Structure 1
Amino acid sequence: MRLEIPHSASQDSRVRFVNYQPFNITRIVGSLRSSVQVEFAADEEIAHVALGNSVAWEVAPAGNILFLKPREKQPVTNISVVTTRRDGSTRSYQMELTARDGTVEVGQNTYFYLKFRYPADEANARRQQAAARARAAQAEEADDVLALHEAYGPRNWRYSAQGGSQSLEPQSVYDNGKITTFAFVGNQEMPAIYIENPDGSESLVSKSVDGNLVMVHAISSKFILRRGKDVLCVFNEAYSRVGINPDTNTTSPSVERVVRSDPAEQ
């Protein structure tokens, strides 16, 4: 162990900072008739406090904050603090307490506030944030490729419509073997879209909307469009039950979905 002297803030020496080292002792200088606030990590809560001289010092824990106040000037003593973290682990702090009498203006050797810093935790958080940004960028790139394939890949335009309600008729319909896209005019109210099952029943299908495009995440020989009592049937004249299989688990041959197991489960 070694004795750590917290460094002072540039604007006020009564504000101090120290890097956490589990086997170092941190010096705290308190002044009579003033208090010291010690702040631990935000994810910590004080569990145990052991004060060497409870006659000369008062102590009051509150969450991750420890308040100290010297009552009288006596020889150097110590305080031990154990905190619990959200993940269930604990941290131990050892501090040397020195009481002094005199003024507490800026420039005097006294503490009002001491904050522990955690360089290892901060570095780990930066690594996790960088990894999250990289994953987000990779996902965005994959989405761009999928969108490009949807926009410019091979399409089947052979669709026909039958029914008594022309107000439901889309401007165009096409599919890429995985997704069927219905294009409506700008002011046209979009209907609910169903597929016809082999037994003749109807099922709503998963879809996404981009402007005036409704992208149904399925292909079918027959779609039923409904809005109130209005009905329109749309037929795929080039329907293939096999569709297009790019062997990538996505709608694009350029983007492959890989399922990775959680390292913690291995």
Structure 2
Amino acid sequence: MTPAETADRLVLLGLDEARARAFAYEDDLRGAAYAWHTHERHQLLYPLAGTARLDVDDASFLLPPQRAALIPAGERHATSCRDASIISIYFDPAAFPCSVAAVRIFEIPALLREMVIYARRWPVARRPDDATANTFFAAMADILAPLLDRGATYRLPRGRTRPVQRAIECALRDVASADLSRAAAFAGATERTLRRRFREETGVTWRAFITRARVLRAIDLLTSPGASVTRVALDVGFQSLGAFAAAFRAVTGQTPSEFRRAAGSTPGDDER
């Protein structure tokens, strides 16, 4: 969506005008991409299925079904549902049990996952004096708060200047064949200058960024039914399963097969 379309959509949904202190919203626009926007409430964003993308000013995050994001009230962000089925829970910051200074990505436990699913019965228009709903959302917030300091971030830095941002854009178009010389040309910089500025702005080398980007793309692919670890490794640009497994574990703490099983994906033919 364009910024204007996003603004119109959010006004239509009435998320910032709700009278209840907490409520659930299940996005019915599969594949929608919302332009930059903010909310007056904290947003717990959870992909029930598929993988969602969350962008903030200095980073991008991929959210597979095992992970959720808490976006602080007032945080400028953009979201892409991609193939994901998204449920969001909105909390009034004044009623939340702790302060939230930045976006947090965390592993969602089974209990909280089931609570998010159950909360769909209390949408944006629910009665603010519903005692059962109020107690439920208060308990959910109490469970959520201690989780905010845990878990992997699934984060990709965005860069501060346009040349570095354009180089990242070029790389993410096709991570399997991402190449420094091509990215430098796209960014209008020399390879030497891009390499130096990239590390200064992102805190990582170009090679480390590409490896991480390939792992995050693999996370996206591994949540698909019938995903093959071998096929995914090749599709994202790894030349050996050993290198893929090592890089994947470094980012997620799991092997690709363990991750796929946790995501509930059916193994590919080469792993049955």
Fold similarity call, TM over 0.5 = no
TM-score of the aligned structures, taking structure 2 as reference length: 0.20
Q: Which has the higher strand share?
A: 1
Where relative contact order (Cα < 8 A, 6+ residues apart) is larger, the structure is: 2
Q: Which has the higher helix share?
A: 2
TM-score of the aligned structures, taking structure 1 as reference length: 0.20
